[in-house]
Amino acid sequence: MIPKQTIDEIFDAAIVEDVVGEFIPLKKRGANYLGNCPFHNEKTPSFTVSPAKGIYKCFGCGKAGNSVNFVMDHEHYTYPEALRFLANKYNIEIEEEELTDEQKEAADERESLYIVSNYAANYFKKQLLESDEGKAIGLSYFLERGFREDTIETFQLGYNPDGWTAFTDEAEKAGHNLKYLDKSGLTIVKGEKKFDRFKGRVMFPIHNLSGRVLGFGGRILKSDDKAAKYLNSPESEIYHKSKVLYGIYTAKKSITQEDICYLVEGYTDVISMYQAGVQNVVASSGTSLTEGQIRLIRRFTPNITILYDGDAAGLKASFRGIDMILQEGMNVRVVLFPEGEDPDSYAKAHSTEELKEYITSNAQDFIRFKTSVLIKEVGDDPIKKAELVKDIVKSIAIIPDQIKRSVYTQECSSLLDIPEQALINETNVILRKNIAKDAKKSHNQNQDRNQGNDQEIPDDLFFPEEFQGQKEEKSTGDLQHWEKEVIRLLVSFGDQTIQVELTNEKDEKVKEEVSASLYIIENITGDGISFENQTYQKVFDFYDEKLKKDELPSHQDFINNSDQEISQFAIDIFSTQHEVSPNWGNFKIFPVSEENLLTIAVERTTLSFKLSKVKQLILKNQEQLKTEKVEDQIMQLLKEINALEQIKKQLASSLGQIILK
């Protein structure tokens, strides 16, 4: 664990314009620097670096952060990896804090697995390139597949000799513990016996985002009906198949630049396409696509194009993966290669331009793809056609974005010659069922916990009309707005003073100066109010803890916070595209700033936040009242609603609002 003092030293040394300037050209523009954003393609610079605030912000794609965030985003490092990168750059020595015995043991085990995996990758590569057996069998195989030597080097391809313990013996001689050889899956240990898992196979190392070897895939070259053609490392402390994609280390930069990821099935598909000039390509390594793999891609782009070889059974099996991608709010397209071709063979037989042109011109959205696969089974059968339509509508209903759902509904209507309204109705039915199902589950779980009541709850109790009307939605939106405004004022102006009206011991109204942070925090904690948004609550608690220690947090305490949620929130609120020019003063024009009206802003925002919170509590109690059957509980709810209504009137009156009902 890196000590906080060292982290602070790294942040102090890592001047944001120096760090960013190492990766992209920056030009001075007033107090800031300007450049082309490295996270999306743009011709007109919108990427701004502010030395005064220590942050960067792209006003095109929205990326923002501090010097550590930039290294994390650009190099796809974790937070500790980025800190170590900057520490090395500025010659800052990191002395790790003492870990507990359990933490040491876990860290040691993970590191030992990384070390033995790295040793194995180097051993297999050396065997491939230097041993007679490796060159005759492994290297000749890769060269026959059309892989160049530089490609073999890039992907660290290798060969495991065809001996029962060839690798294991060498690893133990090099000082590696059999325990970790076993846990990594490189060696299989059965009682007193041990043997190489990948004997006689060409090897494909699997890397994580920072390039460390996690596991391996091995392909057998001999004809052996009893042995699997491809064999993968088993799950371990460092290798989790559901969270790993083959080729992600070599593809991540290109995925970000191209803003699209091509997903294929196998190792050789990735390597051949990479060698052909399409480098933003990864593989699920023959396993079914998982949520973890989809989210890994989403870190770099929301756009996925899946490349299939046209096998009918594989195509139908792909529907579940496509639905999972849609559910994550991502955009998915599908490319089918000509019969008898796959990404590997097509990439080898065509130029880079031809490959890119084929992929671009043959990409279909998921509706056209799904229809083209299933329509062959439908024929003129109206019942089968209805089932096909329902199947596609189920996929549309999964999409979280309403506008995208609408666009896909229109396309489905046109493609299948079905009235659009019929599809909308069917989509709404599915949406209501899904939400009602979740609501029932949650309700019944609460009933079980509180009363042991297993009573069945009807669907229409939860949805008498579309999503329970607009009142609750507006109330929720108001609360979200005022929560954010309270925290924004606290972080931005908490160190400034405001004048508030107080009542002294003589019952007289007097004006006194207090800090904005003290006013906001005491008003909220005094009423026992918490925030719905967990990030805002974290920021509030951080500020409150600082004040309790008689410390006043600076803007940099938030921008450089080790909690990335707090840091990102602060960076977002401090990022402004335009600054008020001081030259206005030469013309006797002095724009009114928020600081000039801070007292009014703080008082009204705090009151508005409280009012929105009270309105939400009233709505919750009213909803509970609809389902409550116990008379004592009903009376208690009515009392609470009445008390909250009185508070609502008082708060509204303070804000100059009139409550009509």
Sequential DSSP letters for 553-585: --HHHHHT-SSHHHHHHHHHHH--S----GGGG
Task: Please tell me whether residues 584 and 630 are part of one structural domain.
Answer: yes
Task: Please tell me whether residues 142 and 170 are part of one structural domain.
Answer: yes
Task: Please tell me whether residues 599 and 647 are part of one structural domain.
Answer: yes
CA 203 vs CA 146, 227, 246, 367, 587: distances in Å: 16, 16, 13, 38, 73
Sequential DSSP letters for 170-195: HHHHTT--HHHHHHTTSEEEETTEEE
Task: Please tell me whether residues 111 and 206 are part of one structural domain.
Answer: yes
Q: What is the pLDDT at residue 596?
A: 55
Q: What is the pLDDT at residue 118?
A: 92
Task: Please tell me whether residues 188 and 227 are part of one structural domain.
Answer: yes
pTM above 0.85, yes or no: no
Confidence category of residue 107, pLDDT binned at 50, 70, 90: low
> What average pLDDT does the chain have?
81
Backbone φ and ψ for 475, nearest 5 degrees, come out as -60, -45
Confidence category of residue 467, pLDDT binned at 50, 70, 90: very low
Task: Please tell me whether residues 495 and 640 are part of one structural domain.
Answer: yes
Highest mean pLDDT among 431-445, 463-477, 559-573: 559-573
CATH number of the domain encompassing residue 585 = 1.10.860
Q: What is the pLDDT at residue 171?
A: 92
Q: What is the pLDDT at residue 314?
A: 62
CATH number of the domain encompassing residue 33 = 3.90.580.10
Give the domain extent around 518: 475-654
Query: Is residue 136 scored above 60 in pLDDT?
Result: yes
Last residue of a domain, one of 211, 239, 267: 239
Q: What is the pLDDT at residue 438?
A: 58
Beta bridge partner(s), residue 282: 263
Confidence category of residue 361, pLDDT binned at 50, 70, 90: very high
Q: Where are the beta strands (DSSP E) in 292-398?
A: 303-308, 331-336, 364-365
Task: Please tell me whether residues 47 and 122 are part of one structural domain.
Answer: no
Summarize pLDDT for 420-448 with one digit per residue, the tens. 888 888 888 887 777 666 555 544 544 55
CATH number of the domain encompassing residue 192 = 3.90.980.10
Last residue of a domain, one of 62, 89, 116: 89
Query: Is residue 252 scored above 90 in pLDDT?
Result: no
Task: Please tell me whether residues 617 and 491 are part of one structural domain.
Answer: yes
Query: Is residue 31 scored above 90 in pLDDT?
Result: no
Summarize pLDDT for 259-283 with one digit per residue, the tens. 899 999 889 999 999 999 999 999 9
Confidence category of residue 455, pLDDT binned at 50, 70, 90: very low
Q: Is residue 503 in some structural domain?
A: yes
Task: Please tell me whether residues 583 and 505 are part of one structural domain.
Answer: yes
Please tell me the total count of domains within the chain.
3
Q: Is residue 279 in some structural domain?
A: no
Task: Please tell me whether residues 41 and 108 are part of one structural domain.
Answer: no
Query: Is residue 468 scored above 70 in pLDDT?
Result: no
Q: Is residue 491 in some structural domain?
A: yes
Q: What is the pLDDT at residue 122?
A: 94
Average pLDDT over residues 444-453: 48
Percentage of the chain beyond pLDDT 70 is: 85
**Alpha-carbon gap, residue 544 to 561, rounded angstroms:** 15
Q: Is residue 293 in some structural domain?
A: no
Nearest to 467 by CA among 426, 423, 422, 435: 435
Last residue of a domain, one of 89, 120, 137: 89
Task: Please tell me whether residues 153 and 198 are part of one structural domain.
Answer: yes
Task: Please tell me whether residues 29 and 152 are part of one structural domain.
Answer: no
